[in-house]
Structure 1
Amino acid sequence: MGSSVETLEFQAETRQLLRLVIHSIYSNKDIFLRELISNASDALDKLRLESLTDPDLAGTDPAALGIWLETDEDARTLTVRDNGIGMTRDELVEVIGTIAKSGTAGLLEKIKESKDASGTEGLIGQFGVGFYSAFMVADRVTLLTRRAGTDSGTRWESDGESTYEIQSVDGLPVGTSVTLHLKPADGEDGLADYLSEPKIRQVVKQYSDFIRWPIMLTARRTDAEDGTAAAPDTINSMKALWARPRNEVTEDEYHEFYRQISHDWLPPAETIHMRAEGTFEYEALLFIPSQAPFDLFSRETRPGVQLYVKRVFIMDDCEALMPDYLRFVKGVVDAHDLSLNVSREILQHDRQIRGVRRRLVKKVLGALKDMRSKDAERYATVWAQFGRALKEGLVEDTDNTEALLELVSVASTHDPQGTTTLREYVERMKDGQDAVYYLTGETRATVENSPHMEAFAAKGYEVLILTDPVDEVWVERVPGYDGHRFQSVAKGLVDLDGPGEGDPEAEAERARRDQDFAALLSWLTTTLSEQVKQVRLSSRLTTSAACVVGDAHDVTPTLEKMYRAMGQQIPPVKRILELNPAHPLVTALRTAHAAGADDSALAETAELILGGALLAEGGDLPDPARFTRLLTDRLAHTL
């Protein structure tokens, strides 16, 4: 017996996603079977895991678990059935009827951005809504499910349009059964192939051969004399790829396994297959992707390494095995000596797991270093996708600072188009140069055109151009590279070719200049005291009138904004205004001040100079409206 049928509406975004799935996302319809089998496998993994700690499920026999594919040519149906964890009615509505929380809006935006069909085929799996691919081949889908440990089941049915029906049903077995009522044949759609044994075997072999649960095919044929179905036949190998010697695994097998665990259509950039023996044995099969997932920098993103114990699935996204900055690495670690009921909390404090993590990290960083030295073009692609995340490691992972610094590849003034490594930078340093110079900013153009760069460009000093937000943090945390400290060209005093002790003429010239400007600098420091801590002469400017710099240990304006955006309140940091003593505007200001010009007019000029310096570095004006009024008034007086 069952309850009355209830009809519910899909969310608007869900309906939009359904239309995209059916009409435009996939060029290869085979994907629907891969997605449904993957969902079934996940349900079996969850049941196996819960049975370890739930007394009501403790009697679950792993040998009895599996996935069944059942075809019926007469009814034109294909059923994917499992005896996994199943779903309650509420879980069913949440997972299938309402999917916006799974990232539907983000998926729709990604699909709009994608330029071709091949770029969209892997997207839906990334968002966890692969169930809807069933509507590519079916005009009606019926789902029966009962969650393990409950008495009542649920029936769900929809044509993939605007509504779905849901009903409580008694007497269902534990697990989930998804029946696809294939669309009517039009002679060219090929949908009847999905009722044929050879086609199903081919799709399972291609996409699901490594799933650890048996996939059994039962085909009911119209030519059978008694109309009965053939005996079930297991059609996947269930061979754990990571347990096989590397020389026995083909690249195609690696790539297909990677697709299964990552839902990424592109082959990985690098495969790491390793086995550790001794006091703690484990196998690991890790992949460095070729492209970053859409949510790489989302707060909800979790590491992509799965943990198995003796081929028994334990957990997805095992944070204990991989640091956050390597969250893009996908793969499997199969440990031999852990308990099956190990928890995430236990793993965080397990000495052996910490040892595994250290070795995995070194393997990944070593593989990236080898890639950089052997295949610069491939490494450039990987760094473009994951460099920002890797640089987070310079903040988080002090044990591997040196290895990470060897991987850094950033823009510099040496090459207007390309990038440089720190090793290459050091090899090009001038004689006597003791610092690695850098400047941070929002864009390369902003940095290159900054007044702070003028003297460095004039003197031929190379400067690193750092434009990722994380750059603001790691250059402050890391003391240096290869014995050379990191030095911002926008902080502290800069004297690229200051007078030596044996150059009395240069020292005398500087003393005269400082004396000439002393009164003006003192007056400006007082006049602008609410905005700057000091006004001084600059040795880093050649063409601009002024620039704003920080003290050697000041927090940068960008980092100050980042802290505030994260809710951390820090005191405002006053900076230093530096003037170019050779610039006509600055010399004219000195002359006017010495001649006793009106202080209010001079103060307005000082405000304009400071505002111009802030704008030149891409900063924010304290009072944009006042700055605009002062500037327009001055322009009007010149006409």
Structure 2
Amino acid sequence: MGRKTTHKFKAEVSQLLDILVHSLYTNKEIFLRELISNASDALEKVRFKATSEGSENDVAPEIRITADKDAGTVTVTDTGVGMTRDELMRNIGTIAHSGTAELTRMAQEGKESLDALIGRFGVGFYSVYMVADEVTVTTRSIEPDAQAIIWTSDGRTDYKLQELDEDLPRGTRIEVKLKEDMVSRFANEAALKNIVNKHSNFINFPIYVADERVNTVTALWREPKFQIKDKQYAEFYKFLTYDSEDPFDTLHTSVDAPVQFNALMFIPKSGDDPFGMAREQRGLDLYVRRVLIEKQNKDLLPEYLGFVKGVVDTEDLPLNISRETLQDNMLMRKISSTLVKQVLGNLEKMAKDNADRYAEFWQAHGTLFKAGYMDFLNKDKFAKLVRFNSSASEDSKGLASFDDYISRAKDEQKEIYYAFGPSREALGLSPYLEVFRRKGVEVLYLYEPIDEFVMDALRDYEGYTLTSAEHADMAKLDKFEDLEKKEEAEALTEEQQSSLDRMMARIKDVLGEAVTEVKASRRLSDSPVCLANPDGNVTSSMDKIMRVVSKDTSIPKKVLEVNPDHILVRNMLTIFERDENDPFIDQAANQLFESALLLEGYLTDPHALVGRVQDLLTKSSGWYVEKTN
């Protein structure tokens, strides 16, 4: 045996070790992740040395982990580059980072998790003292004629160094003498395998726990794309997500600038979320040099791309970066920006090359994707990818893009019209859309509240204004020819027009404050009346959303538009001209107003409406009996 010496830890190391030893934090398993990462680095250095110097590497690169429950130990051995005496003192005897006072303060105040502290201050090896009473490091450097060294410490105030005369194999062996209450938790092979699978599954070297290789899944994202078969991608996807189906689409990318990273992302076939877990389960797994840093990182992709599963592995982040630092890290923002552009570019290509395939994607993930209206940086890309049902579609499953709409727009039309409704059938009967049906002007159909937010956020597309059909400028629609010439009602005489104005004033008196105005409509052809928002107000559907949010159950005051050419209105006009005080005018006014409220979804008490219908049916049935006799 060679000489044996004792050395005091630097003051900052003693402080740190004291924090770790007395730590109350629970995530103690990361000590193994740190030891494996160090072993992996040592093996990488051997490989680099062999490549750069052209030397032979005759020792198999591997990491072996064993547990001895009786002795209460866990041992990690690697065949890496090893350390000389000076390297050992430099790497373990001191910390090359400042800020230990701040570290001590934060740990004592309990402001951050221990994992985050270890990450922030780059002190991975010392995490072993969360679980250890004593640690023994035996190492021999790859350098020629290097002596084997033993480093031993209980993690309190000092460490012992001893040189060995025996010729040990190259590499490092770390024996962790576990604290008594840690033996059952860590001195068993099943627990060690679980920790390796969780944190170090894709380390580039074989990791054995008691002679069984644990990390058997290849870090596929690091492999050249042209060598990988679809079956391999599918197997990796299923391993990653536990999905029984193959992925719908795969995006494998390698980026060198502005940040170096590899990513392997998948789009699942299904967007089903029966238990409402999607928001919690979203995110890409973040690795640094094959070591898992964070499972399901929520910052790499925005929520509207939360259907994307996969991994990102970068060389540029520090291995032990903390979660708090991740959120503020500029490199992370650059990775995120690049990933978003790649996912959107991939979807754009899919939409362009295969509309049917893109329709499948939209069916599965379109509802979530529409939340991208808030991504203002990628507004143009998002707008190209968003889809809606349309009056030009054959059924409710048909999809139209803004580009599709523009390709079918009429000459001189510079608006993309849309309307919100509960179903295609309801919109097909909507009074607001009668003028559009008459003119053959396409309308995009919106069925979900988020659709309205999409339109409100985008506002325009390629020089076309996104316009609610409810707010359409009738003068712009009047210039388009009617598709079919209907038999027009006889024009009103000046006297009849004057009577109509008085009748509408009478209807306003009957309805009182329930409406803001009663006026003649230019949009209606088949319906006698409709309700419209006063000029400048939001659409009816947006108004409903806002009322739900503010828990406002009142009925909004709207404009009642009357169709002067409808036969019912003409009959009312005849009755009014005969007797302006005829009670039928009041009855019809209330009935038409409440019928319009019913169509709008605002009528909460239908009793009066039903009673009026029954009264009118009773009277009209008497007339019908007389006429048919």
Q: Normalized against structure 2, the TM-score is what?
A: 0.63
Contact 2:432 2:530 in 1 (8 A): yes
Match of 1:541 in 2: 524
Superposed, 1:33-182 pairs within 5 Å as: 59-60=31-32, 62=34, 172-174=184-186
Contact 1:537 1:579 in 2 (8 A): yes
Match of 1:318 in 2: 297
Match of 2:444 in 1: 464
Contact 2:259 2:334 in 1 (8 A): no
Contact 1:289 1:329 in 2 (8 A): yes
Match of 1:518 in 2: 501
Do residues 305 (structure 1) and 305 (structure 2) align? Answer: no
Q: Indicate which of 468, 472, 479 corresponds to 2:459.
A: 479
Secondary structure at the counterpart of residue 237 of structure 2: helix
Structure 1 residue 615: Cα displacement: 3.0
Contact 1:305 1:331 in 2 (8 A): yes
- What is the CA–CA distance in structure 1 between the aligned matches of 2:226 and 2:278, rounded to whole Å? 39
Contact 2:393 2:399 in 1 (8 A): yes
Q: Give the 3 Å change call, closer, same or farther, for CA 248–297 of structure 1 in structure 2.
A: same
Larger deviation, residues 306-315 vs 553-562 = 553-562
Structure 1 residue 314: Cα displacement: 1.2
Q: Give the 3 Å change call, closer, same or farther, for CA 516–602 of structure 1 in structure 2.
A: closer
Match of 1:620 in 2: 602
Return the letter of the residue paired with 1:634. Answer: L
- What is the CA–CA distance in structure 1 between the aligned matches of 2:202 and 2:289, rounded to whole Å? 15
Q: After superposition, what is the alpha-carbon deviation per residue over 1:247-276, rounded to whole angstroms, capped at 9, x for unaligned? A: 122211111111122222222222111122
Do residues 362 (structure 1) and 341 (structure 2) align? Answer: yes
Superposed, 1:330-369 pairs within 5 Å as: 330-369=309-348
Match of 1:33 in 2: none
Q: Give the 3 Å change call, closer, same or farther, for CA 59–498 of structure 1 in structure 2.
A: closer
- What is the CA–CA distance in structure 2 between the aligned matches of 1:176 and 1:620, rounded to whole Å? 66
Contact 1:320 1:344 in 2 (8 A): no
Q: Give the 3 Å change call, closer, same or farther, for CA 557–466 of structure 1 in structure 2.
A: same
Structure 1 residue 628: Cα displacement: 1.5
Secondary structure at the counterpart of residue 313 of structure 2: strand
Structure with max Cα Rg = 2
Structure 1 residue 400: Cα displacement: 1.3
Q: After superposition, what is the alpha-carbon deviation per residue over 1:468-498, rounded to whole angstroms, capped at 9, x for unaligned? A: 2211211122211111111111235534553
Return the letter of the residue paired with 1:623. Answer: D
Contact 2:202 2:291 in 1 (8 A): no
Return the letter of the residue paired with 2:350. Answer: M
- What is the CA–CA distance in structure 2 between the aligned matches of 1:578 and 1:587, rounded to whole Å? 15
Percent identity over paired residues: 29
Contact 1:214 1:238 in 2 (8 A): no
Q: Indicate which of 559, 565, 575 corresponds to 2:542.
A: 559
Contact 1:296 1:328 in 2 (8 A): no
Return the letter of the residue paired with 1:441. Answer: G
Match of 1:593 in 2: 576
- What is the CA–CA distance in structure 1 between the aligned matches of 2:530 and 2:217, rounded to whole Å? 66
Superposed, 1:107-506 pairs within 5 Å as: 172-174=184-186, 232-234=211-213, 236-278=215-257, 280-294=259-273, 300-394=279-373, 396-417=374-395, 418-491=398-471, 493-495=473-475, 497-498=477-478
Secondary structure at the counterpart of residue 339 of structure 1: coil
Q: Give the 3 Å change call, closer, same or farther, for CA 63–238 of structure 1 in structure 2.
A: farther
Match of 1:608 in 2: 591
Structure 1 residue 176: Cα displacement: 7.6
Secondary structure at the counterpart of residue 616 of structure 1: helix
Q: Which runs of 5+ in 2 are unaligned?
A: 1-22, 38-64, 68-128, 133-180, 192-199, 481-487, 622-629
Do residues 532 (structure 1) and 504 (structure 2) align? Answer: no
Return the letter of the residue paired with 1:575. Answer: K
Match of 1:3 in 2: none
Secondary structure at the counterpart of residue 296 of structure 2: coil
Structure 1 residue 56: Cα displacement: 6.0
Match of 1:635 in 2: 617
Structure 1 residue 232: Cα displacement: 2.6
Contact 2:533 2:540 in 1 (8 A): no
Q: After superposition, what is the alpha-carbon deviation per residue over 1:567-621, rounded to whole angstroms, capped at 9, x for unaligned? A: 566986422221111111112222333333436542231121122223335x231
Secondary structure at the counterpart of residue 471 of structure 2: coil
Structure 1 residue 547: Cα displacement: 1.5
- What is the CA–CA distance in structure 1 between the aligned matches of 2:317 and 2:299, rounded to whole Å? 13
- What is the CA–CA distance in structure 2 between the aligned matches of 1:614 and 1:82, rounded to whole Å? 75
Contact 1:492 1:551 in 2 (8 A): no
- What is the CA–CA distance in structure 2 between the aligned matches of 1:171 and 1:459, rounded to whole Å? 81
Secondary structure at the counterpart of residue 299 of structure 2: helix
- What is the CA–CA distance in structure 1 between the aligned matches of 2:550 and 2:259, rounded to whole Å? 43
Secondary structure at the counterpart of residue 358 of structure 1: helix
Contact 1:303 1:322 in 2 (8 A): no
- What is the CA–CA distance in structure 2 between the aligned matches of 1:210 and 1:331, rounded to whole Å? 15
Larger deviation, residues 320-329 vs 534-543 = 534-543
Contact 2:204 2:290 in 1 (8 A): no
Q: Give the 3 Å change call, closer, same or farther, for CA 598–450 of structure 1 in structure 2.
A: same
**RMSD of the alignment, in Å?**
4.0
Q: Give the 3 Å change call, closer, same or farther, for CA 369–515 of structure 1 in structure 2.
A: farther
Q: Which runs of 5+ in 1 are unaligned?
A: 1-50, 66-80, 84-147, 152-168, 180-208, 219-230, 501-505
Q: After superposition, what is the alpha-carbon deviation per residue over 1:73-100, rounded to whole angstroms, capped at 9, x for unaligned? A: xxxxxxxx999xxxxxxxxxxxxxxxxx
Return the letter of the residue paired with 2:539. Answer: T
Match of 2:561 in 1: 578
Return the letter of the residue paired with 1:526. Answer: D
Q: Give the 3 Å change call, closer, same or farther, for CA 586–347 of structure 1 in structure 2.
A: farther
Structure 1 residue 415: Cα displacement: 2.2
Q: Normalized against structure 1, the TM-score is what?
A: 0.62
Secondary structure at the counterpart of residue 291 of structure 1: coil
